[in-house]
């Protein structure tokens, strides 16, 4: 197995490996308990379906998309020509991993591995 050093936020370089190992184990623990639909979304991306749209007072458009698997919501604000002005995501309880930051390549691999395990049996 290839050993790779992940992002380290500690200026003391010798602690980076320990920090990475703790984070990796925590992600593996989360992946084990994660519901199957959450694993699918982490592995394949959300399955967005338009839910509703409305004109806002300033002439922009608010559009809400819903994930068909995990019920996450994607709220987008568009200008009248369809350009995205902004937006945010609302996730179901337990989907977001508070304090873990954005998943890097190694973190995504952990969830992909847990997802494919369902097929392997």
Name the one range near Zn ion by CB under 5 A: 26-34, 67-75, 85-93, 107-115: 67-75
Q: How far is 75 from 116, CA to CA, in rounded Å?
A: 30
Q: Write down the least CB distance from residue 68 to Zn ion, Å.
A: 7
Q: Which residues, 23 to 52, sit near Zn ion by CB under 5 A? A: 41, 46
Q: Write down the least CB distance from residue 28 to Zn ion, Å.
A: 21
Task: Tell me how many degrees the CA angle 56-57-60 measures, rounded to the nearest 5.
Answer: 45
Q: Does 70 bind Zn ion (CB under 5 A)?
A: yes
57 touches 42 (CB < 8 A): no
Look at strands 73-78 and 84-90 and give their pairing.
antiparallel
Binding site residues, Zn ion, CB under 5 A: 41, 46, 67, 69-70, 72
């Amino acid at each position: 197995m290839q050993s790779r050093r992940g992002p380290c936020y500690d200026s003391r370089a010798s602690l980076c490996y320990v920090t990475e190992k703790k984070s990796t184990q925590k992600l593996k623990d989360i992946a084990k308990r994660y519901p199957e639909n959450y694993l699918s979304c982490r592995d394949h991306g959300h399955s967005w379906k338009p839910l509703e749209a409305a004109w806002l007072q300033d002439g922009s458009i608010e559009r809400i998309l819903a994930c068909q698997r995990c019920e996450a919501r994607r709220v987008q604000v568009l200008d009248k020509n369809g350009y995205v002005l902004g937006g945010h995501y609302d996730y179901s309880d337990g989907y977001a991993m508070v304090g873990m930051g954005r998943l890097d390549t190694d973190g995504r691999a952990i969830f992909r591995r847990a997802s494919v395990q369902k097929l392997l049996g």
